[in-house]
Amino acid sequence: MLRQFLLGKIHRGVVTRADLDYMGSVTLDPLLIEAAGFMENEKVDIYDVTNGARLATYVIPGIAGTGEIGINGAAAHLVHAGDLVIIAAYGWLDEAEAARHKPKVVFVDERNQVVSRASQERTPAAAAGTLGPRI
């Protein structure tokens, strides 16, 4: 059986522009594409941390080193320049693949430059080995 898993994500990137007059997609700095393990034309989900909007689109490369996260087309109605976003790609893995898989989690600064990378995510409480309040 195949199950869907996180392949890679860019965490809390800053949208550098939103262009209603483009056909669609998200333009990303190729350095971000590589760091997150994305591929050109790959489907990604975008979660707008600023306003809660969620959408699916595909990746196109911009100019390397610019930190560009450009929202193109109709999505620019939902996501605006300056918004914080999470961009994630998922893939279907079988049990053996899933056991070996490590997602590429990329953390960026306010200029969308990579500051750290991880292959797993944990809440602060889980990382510290403590429990939060019980309900």
Annotated catalytic sites, by residue? 25, 58
- Spatial CA neighbour of 79 closest among 42, 26, 40: 26
Q: What's the one-letter identity of residue 97? A: E
The answer to whether the beta carbons of residues 13 and 56 sit under 8 Å apart is no
**How does strand 3-14 pair with strand 104-108?**
parallel
Residue 35 identity: A
- Write out the two tokens for 87: 């961009």
CA-based max dimension of the chain: 49
